Structure 1
Amino acid sequence: MKKLFLLASLLLVFSFGLSACGSSSDSAKEESKEESTSTTNESEDLTEDETTMEEETDSGIIDSEDYATSWSDDWKGLQTKISSVSVFKVDSAKLAEDGEDGEGLIVVNYELNNNSEIDFNTYPDQGVLVADGKQIDASMINSDDLGGELMQGVSKDGAVVYILPTLNDVSDIKDIRLTWSASYETDNYEEDSFKDYDARITLK
């Protein structure tokens, strides 16, 4: 993704784990040491949780949900897989700083693999999303460079971003529909050299 700072900071927001530490004391004060260690660990956990929450707020991400998917298609050796979908509730003011207008993001992760002897043209980053009663074009400027020619033997993966104009809660997005096209050149006009994809995915 090329532009949205929200997504650029996403890995940082969710990369924090909890850690524990101990302390030493004489055996006569073992019980006191355990209580002290427990208090210290709880304090550290709270500090790290607060840090994560602060970074999440700073990034503009209010809430998020990730879904693994199993959708895949093989068209004459052009293998297309949607590996995951993420839904984000975001601070509209933060999004506006990037020149975008909206309250949510849906990020679709694609894996493309051309196992054929044909050079394909495929355009998932120019597709359309239907979600929560809204029809939304892909944000090409914020998506990875997935569209265009995929020559034989080449693999590509990346994310396509859709900006939701309104979103009350990430749980409101229960299923999505994605459409895009692919094609290849041929001298045989009777050959089926064009495909319209229509992927319907339940998020769970």
Structure 2
Amino acid sequence: MVLFMGFLTIFSVLGLIVGVIFLIVKKTRGKGKILTPIAFVLAVIGFWYMGSPVHNEQSGVNNQETSPPLADTTSVDTNEDEKENLDDTINHKVDWSVNKDNVRFIIDQVSIVKQELESGDQGMIGVHIIIDNKSNKDISTYPTQGTLLTNTREQIKASVHSENFDGEIMSGAKTDGFVLFPVQKLSKPEDINSVRVKWDFWPDKNTSEGLKELDAQLSF
């Protein structure tokens, strides 16, 4: 079972990377929107299982029964290091919402991932936003062009690799997606315990007047 979960975790991470690449390419964006959340969930499950206390305790017992005392000590230390390395994703459930001109904006989850990115950044913050347009007008809003501030005082512009769910939203439509913010410096996910997210909103897409700014302050 441990070997299976190990392979599942590896393939899930690879699938997440491929899904992000698919999101970048317009022709494969539809596949990316399907593959990315599935791979993300499977990766979180795999990391959780591999780093769970029960799993580590069972591994320690097996090593104690089959190895000399010196090997037992080394095995326990290795398991503790692996657990620290695998605890690199935290999903926070939050409850933020606001109603502007009969348009409801909701943030229900903030995910923090510790991972070295090709850009040199040390992690990523994903903010899940729901937009429910119950007004009688088509609106414009761009959270994927927004800005995030962390409690560690890092101000971040949204990544172009965020999910494509905003822009012009028709009357009666409901949409949602993750906005991604690359973190330049991140030792561990627990370092981030609050964020502030800001983006623009036009209640009527046909006019530049009436611009409003949404400002969500989230603690977890």
For normalisation by structure 2, the TM-score amounts to 0.63
| 1:81 maps to which of 106, 115, 121 | 106
Residues 187 and 162 (structure 1 numbering): CA distance in 2 closer, same or farther, change over 3 Å?
Answer: closer
SS of residue matched to 2:111 = strand
The match for 1:138 is 158
Residues 79 and 10 (structure 1 numbering): CA distance in 2 closer, same or farther, change over 3 Å?
Answer: same
Structure 2 runs not aligned, ≥5 long: 1-18, 24-31, 50-57, 63-81
What CA distance in whole angstroms lies between the structure 2 residues aligned with 1:145 and 1:186? 18
Note the aligned Cα RMSD (angstroms).
3.3
The match for 1:198 is 215
What CA distance in whole angstroms lies between the structure 1 residues aligned with 2:154 and 2:207? 38
Shift of 1:118: 1.1
The match for 2:44 is 14
SS of residue matched to 1:167 = coil
Question: Which protein has greater RCO, CA pairs closer than 8 Å, 6+ apart?
Answer: 1
Partner deviation per Cα, 1:171-203 (whole Å, 9 max, x = no partner): 1111101010000338999xx721101111102
Deviating 4+ runs (over 2 angstroms): 1-5, 7-10, 14-18, 184-189
In proportion to residue count, which structure has more helix?
2
Question: What is the correspondence of 1:33-44 to structure 2 with a 5 Å cutoff?
Answer: 42=58
Structure 1 runs not aligned, ≥5 long: 19-41, 47-53
Mapped pair 1:102 → 2:121: yes
| 1:70 maps to which of 95, 103, 108 | 95
Partner deviation per Cα, 1:57-112 (whole Å, 9 max, x = no partner): 8xxx761111111100111111110010011111x2xx21xxx3200110000111
The match for 1:180 is 199
Identity %: 28
CA contact (8 A) 2:101 2:203 kept: no
Q: One-letter code of the match for 1:181?
A: D
Partner deviation per Cα, 1:26-82 (whole Å, 9 max, x = no partner): xxxxxxxxxxxxxxxx57xx8xxxxxxx9xx8xxx7611111111001111111100
SS of residue matched to 2:171 = coil
